Structure 1
Amino acid sequence: MSSIPALLRDRITATPDAEAYRVPAGDGWRSLTWREVGERVRELALGLAALGAGPGSRVSILCSTRLEWILTDLAVLATGAATTTIYPSNTAAEAAFVITDSGSTIVVAEDDDQVAKLRSVQKELPDVTQVIVVDGSPSDDGWVMRLDAVTAAEGDYDAMVDAIGQDDLATLIYTSGTTGRPKGVELTHDNWLYAAGAVRRIDLLSPADLHFLWLPLSHSFGKLLEVVMIDIGVATAIDGRLDRIAENLGAVRPTIMAAAPRIFEKIHNTVVATVRREGGVKARIFSWARATGIRVSRARQRGVRLPATTRAEYALADRLVFAKLRERFGGRVRYFISGAAPLNTEIAEFFDAAGLTILEGYGLTESSAGSFLNRPGSVRFGTVGPPLPGTEVRIADDGEILIGGRGVMRGYHGLPEETAAALEDGWLHTGDIGELDEAGRLRITDRKKELIKTSGGKYVAPTYLEGRIKAACPYVSHVFVHGDRRNFVTALVTLDMEVAGPWAQAESLPADPHALRGHPRMREEIQKAIDQVNADEASYATVKKFAILAEDFAVETGELTASLKIRRKVVEERHGGTLDSFYDG
């Protein structure tokens, strides 16, 4: 197989009438077959080629997760061009940087708002000859046209596809990064074909599955899922609206869904907070069921056979609590997949106890998103599993994780020195610190550049502490642990008002986050969670002071990346006064 369009063509030949995609339509959903997808991609590809897309060119997509994103991506690739991805949340300046740095000449925008963003920086985009809008209006000057008008009467689609080589550039994804300016990661058709084939080889999915996709397709994780489902022939229900995830899960009833850890944290915290608020018998039953389920989960991880009494207790816990939780997700989920950031172990065990096992994986944009994944039947929470078939791993002397194999990027676009540093000695230097267990599963301890070194010379892993605090208190949205070159560790905490709000109302506390953050009862709840975490840590790693912020971290304010990871430098700069106050006197 030489390219993603060739993979799609083979899928259409193999299962032309099978369901490919399912999309919202009115009050329900409508389906497209692989044959219908192929017809639309062929039409779009010929239209894009007529507009100048072809080998060596780039087309940027500025759009949220929806069917048109995938169809456009596949059409761009079929012309021999490469797709450049832009997050809809990016500012006009950020979008302009990606478009110009990548050399894109065509931009596909989702709606009139995104077109307005481009118009505001049009003078900085002299090479952009055409903007194509999915849901919006064409312009009188011809710079903007509608996607449904992108067609061509002539052209040899199959010849275009046959001309694509496996080493040709397929995707330019700009790493949002927690620090520094974005770099364009060059990923070839072979990079994606390897990663998708590796997932197929571990027998995680089958054509009988139904995949629910909401993840940003601008992110490498979302892009990998797109190619995997074509390779295996899995139908995908698509809706990128975050506020519809819970409703969509109940309606679509998928068997597989991938998500960032933040989604699992929110689900967990909502359930725990709801039970706490109800109190009484329900709360006691939930606590007993949770403890029983986690005991069973840990025994499964160790491969220990459960005694009959424990099996009976778990069956009762499942009937009273866990079965109801599974129904919230449609009742058919076989596995969740988690990536993009570390998943807290306690939260993973809670979901496993409920029969909703989360398979945590790990990969970088630079390694085509998928390098490691826990396998069904041998899950070990706290690890990201063994390497996918064909991926090599080494642990450097300083603990840094090094990755080799066909999934590793070609390089950073236009940045030869950064490429040489990242691919030194033929290995991808991930910047993450980790270790391998006795079964070859990778455990990531922290980011190499994000480890805190206190003024006393002790190293502290901030993301580990942040995850534990979030798991210990359902009212917390984000935690930022600080202390590099300081004499003790401190934290900034933000509230999840979707969870904390109802609790505050039930407790007759202020519902306004500005007032709630300073209330003694709110601080007491956060302090209890921090005390619980501190009890298991060495003294130098304990959080000594904290502050509750009035506003949550957000992508729009620059404190979070598009994949919901904290941009540590931005947070330190924005809240420097609060952080410094911890150490005054």
Structure 2
Amino acid sequence: MRTLIDLFGTFGALGDKTAFVNRTGVRRLVVSYREFHDLALRMANLLAQKGVVPGDRVLIWGPNSSWWAVAYWGIVVRGAIAVPVDFMSDSARADSIRNLTNATIVLQSRFKAERMTTAASLLLEDLPYLLEDVQPIGEIASAAPDDTAQLIYTSGTTGTPKGVILSHKNLIANLTQINTQVPIITSRFTFLSLLPLSHMFEQMGGLFTPLYHGAAIVYLRTLKPSAIMDALGEEDIYVIMSVPRLMQLLKTTIERELEEKHLLGLFRSLARLAASFPKEVRRTLFFPVQKKFGRNFTVFVSGGAPLEPEVFTFWSNMGFTVLEGYGLTETSPVLCVNTMERQVAGAVGPPLPGVQVKIEGKEVLARGDNIFPGYYENEQASRDAFTSDGWFRTGDLGEIGPDGWLVIKGREKELIVTGSGVNVYPDELEAVLNKVPGVKESCVIGVERGGGEEVHAVLLLDGSGKAPEAIIGQANKSLDTLQRITGYTIWNEPEFPKTTTLKIKKFAVKEALKKGVEGGEATASRDSLLNLLAKVTGTGTAQIREESLLVTDLGLTSIDRLELVSFLEQEYRLDIDDSQIGPQTRVSDLRQIITKREKTTRHDHFRLWTNTSFFQGVRRVWDALVHYPLFRSFATLEVRGGDKLEKLDGPVFFVANHLSYLDQPAVMFALPPKIRPKCATAAWAEFFFGDYHGFDRIWRRLSYEYATVLFNLFPLSQSQGFSGSLGYMGKLADAGINILIFPEGEHSRDGKLHDFQMGLGIMVKELGIPVVPIKISGTDQVLPHEARFPKRGAVTVTFGEPLRFRYEEPADIVKMTRQAVMDL
């Protein structure tokens, strides 16, 4: 195997084996290797139709998903050059890279608040529809090993990103080297993809490696802790490619859950005790935690930044295997990695086979087939990157032990040299500061003071109220006198600016300090939260104040709320529910929600088990014995358009007008017997779970018990917590269950069709299933809204042609669906 084209040639033969699982937060969508191979060929043809020729650059700016992978391999098959851009980058950076590479076309995402408008572009989320009408390309491009496969612009902790040229030879060499050193992957493995595919660490370890072995990859739309833990609980995960910050986030999530159960003290005592036990004993001792990661979970692979020994020890003491590695984008990316036989805290392992590493003047130098040829259109930087005899200068400081294992000390450019000539490694000081109570995160930088640098700490506090002077004093007690922190600044944003691997952009922090007010409080040059609120609500940033009410002052609608939550989850990787944002929520409250990162406890009333075959059978019997005879005793039912349901394939939304409490049984009995049991109905949650008391509360709860089991109703809130209902509907669709919904939200008292609620558009867009419009008439005469008992009468249920939406936005879906019901 010499090129990525050779690797692509192996995919089609894997047939129906799962290649990708997309977990959108609402749906679970599976793509087989056969489908993936076909889609990539179609993608190559679509690019050709858009004018892309071999050698052109194509920019990908979107979140991880199977469609990112389809786009990437379509570029490869076309013979073009992929230019992945970190999804978290702003539009200015993405547009700058487009200009630098003269990209022919941009593949971007609808999930980005700011999109690029200055270039020809396609939305990654539209690819399922675009590729339906495109045939697979007839001729796959050829590639030589030295041909450029992709250009990756470094994230830039130094503020000077450069375009790294990576050839087919570089990528295939590193793929082979890694799998020789860690030969554990098989086709049975499932990888959980958590890092951006725009970063070489995830691309090599979490895309090329699993595809090389015919393994499966799971993608999440957002990296909030609950989504990660849900995936671990529901997918059979073997491997996670991670970075230290993400492993710290998972560590904090576990510790928080233990603290809530008052078990954290016992856990820590057991962990200290278990440190000397064999790994299998540790795995057994911490089985409750191991269980959360699945029965086959094998290994964390950590890279992108040094892993603190404390975090390594936390996972290792519980019996987890943590392979820490080291490399750079320029090295495709891996140079060294721990082995399955031996892992050492603080060390990044021996060099890979075929990779040479040495230390020259404390700097790590490397050589091998995986080393890049140079920077794109930047000859000076390319010359500076190599020694005269061809060794790559990593810019990292390190030491090689007697056993040949490498230890990284820090970035050369971040090394602080004090006035006394003492070398201070910021990573070591940050590790001390981050353990001090009151500190959420820290960033240590050198501030020039004439004749040397001052060791300066920038603190992101956790809101506990601990004085920063006390924090610095406590940290300094653990530090050597010559390395102590001599100044500090408080960071007022919810997060530090981060690279794609969650490393702090220290150059950006330094710039912010230069612009900050005298006295030391740092603020970012632009407030990302205010910009996000302005984008979602349409309010100018100048009009947004900390005391502004999101709903009243900024006009945040229920639909805006869901969009805002989605963007916040993407931007800050936190758990947040739309129910946390209410009429009294201010901008300052939202900052606190982001800062505290507290996991919300939601009391849902969903029952997926009512859709099992057993309960479907129970409803069949109960309908035949009770519901249908009762309904027919006062209603004569006429069904029109039933033939339109014969060719339904998969779940659909049934969308009907709403006249009476009899509407649900009328539709159910109008459906064909094979469809009826596989249909759930959305009901007004507040009817069952409002602020009721006494007997009223009891009978409504009993009604809920009866309705969920024997009518298969589920609650849909009209005030808050809509995301929970949306997630439940996704599970129904995944299980092949149809959904009946009455989007007017209440009975029509005058018999006319009222406006549909906007939530319908989001439901249809997120679930991606067809809509069958339904017109009900006569139920308001049989059981008027104010009546206690029904009277005899005729009821008509008319089914329309299924509507299949593709590119429409939610508002358009609502409008078109209502018109379809109106036309009936």
The structure-2 alpha-carbon separation of the partners of 1:274 and 1:250, relative to structure 1 and needing over 3 Å to count, comes to closer
Distance 2:490 2:257 in 1: 22
Greater RCO, CA 8 A, separation 6+: 1
Distance 1:20 1:31 in 2: 8
Q: Deviations over 1:448-495 (max 9, x none)?
A: 11111111111100012213432x247643211134555753422214
1:256 matched to 2:255? no
Matching residue of 2:311: 347
Matching residue of 1:570: 508
Matching residue of 2:156: 177
1:271 pairs with 230, 251, 254, which one? 254
CA contact (8 A) 2:232 2:294 kept: yes
Q: Secondary structure at the match of 1:193?
A: helix
**Which blocks of at least 5 consecutive residues in structure 2 are unaligned?**
521-824
Q: Which moved more, 1:227-236 or 1:534-543?
A: 534-543
1:402 pairs with 339, 362, 365, which one? 365
The structure-2 alpha-carbon separation of the partners of 1:269 and 1:149, relative to structure 1 and needing over 3 Å to count, comes to closer
- Aligned-residue offset at 1:319: 5.5
Matching residue of 1:459: 423
Matching residue of 1:505: none
CA contact (8 A) 1:336 1:358 kept: yes
1:135 matched to 2:104? no
Distance 2:283 2:111 in 1: 49
Q: Deviations over 1:507-550 (max 9, x none)?
A: xxxxxx4xx4xx247876x46xx73x645532112335545433
Distance 1:147 1:134 in 2: 10
The structure-2 alpha-carbon separation of the partners of 1:250 and 1:154, relative to structure 1 and needing over 3 Å to count, comes to closer
Q: Which moved more, 1:263-272 or 1:98-107?
A: 263-272
The structure-2 alpha-carbon separation of the partners of 1:520 and 1:447, relative to structure 1 and needing over 3 Å to count, comes to closer
Distance 1:38 1:154 in 2: 9
Q: Secondary structure at the match of 1:552?
A: coil
- Aligned-residue offset at 1:154: 7.5
Query: TM-score scaled by structure 1?
Result: 0.81
Matching residue of 1:509: none
**Which blocks of at least 5 consecutive residues in structure 1 are unaligned?**
137-144, 301-313, 501-512
CA contact (8 A) 1:572 1:579 kept: no
Matching residue of 1:218: 198
- Aligned-residue offset at 1:239: 1.7
The structure-2 alpha-carbon separation of the partners of 1:240 and 1:173, relative to structure 1 and needing over 3 Å to count, comes to farther
Matching residue of 1:503: none
CA contact (8 A) 2:145 2:168 kept: yes
1:190 matched to 2:169? yes
1:292 matched to 2:273? yes
- Aligned-residue offset at 1:153: 4.4
Q: How does 1:506-521 map onto structure 2 within 5 Å? A: 513=463, 516=464, 519-520=465-466
2:116 pairs with 107, 115, 118, which one? 118
1:482 matched to 2:445? yes
Identity of aligned residues (%): 27
Between structure 1 and structure 2, the one with the greater Rg is 2
Q: Which moved more, 1:178-187 or 1:145-154?
A: 145-154
Matching residue of 1:450: 414
Matching residue of 1:75: 74
Distance 2:477 2:374 in 1: 44
- Aligned-residue offset at 1:318: 5.8
Matching residue of 1:422: 385
Distance 1:386 1:371 in 2: 8
1:157 matched to 2:142? no
Distance 1:103 1:287 in 2: 54
Distance 1:464 1:522 in 2: 19
Q: Secondary structure at the match of 2:70?
A: helix
Distance 2:445 2:20 in 1: 44
Matching residue of 1:373: 337
1:553 matched to 2:458? no
CA contact (8 A) 1:133 1:146 kept: no
Distance 1:5 1:318 in 2: 41
Matching residue of 1:6: 6
Matching residue of 2:481: 539
Q: Secondary structure at the match of 1:286?
A: helix
The structure-2 alpha-carbon separation of the partners of 1:474 and 1:260, relative to structure 1 and needing over 3 Å to count, comes to farther
The structure-2 alpha-carbon separation of the partners of 1:215 and 1:56, relative to structure 1 and needing over 3 Å to count, comes to same
Q: Which moved more, 1:235-244 or 1:255-264?
A: 235-244
Distance 1:579 1:439 in 2: 50
The structure-2 alpha-carbon separation of the partners of 1:184 and 1:572, relative to structure 1 and needing over 3 Å to count, comes to same
The structure-2 alpha-carbon separation of the partners of 1:76 and 1:385, relative to structure 1 and needing over 3 Å to count, comes to same
- Aligned-residue offset at 1:95: 1.3
- Aligned-residue offset at 1:287: 2.5
Q: Secondary structure at the match of 2:407?
A: strand
Letter of the 1:10 partner, please give it. Answer: T
Q: Which moved more, 1:260-269 or 1:338-347?
A: 260-269
CA contact (8 A) 1:43 1:151 kept: no
CA contact (8 A) 1:250 1:328 kept: yes
The structure-2 alpha-carbon separation of the partners of 1:113 and 1:18, relative to structure 1 and needing over 3 Å to count, comes to closer
The structure-2 alpha-carbon separation of the partners of 1:562 and 1:155, relative to structure 1 and needing over 3 Å to count, comes to closer
CA contact (8 A) 1:81 1:170 kept: yes
1:364 pairs with 305, 325, 328, which one? 328
Aligned residues, how many?
Answer: 513
| Runs of 4+ more than 6 Å apart | 577-580
Q: Secondary structure at the match of 2:287?
A: helix
- Aligned-residue offset at 1:241: 1.2
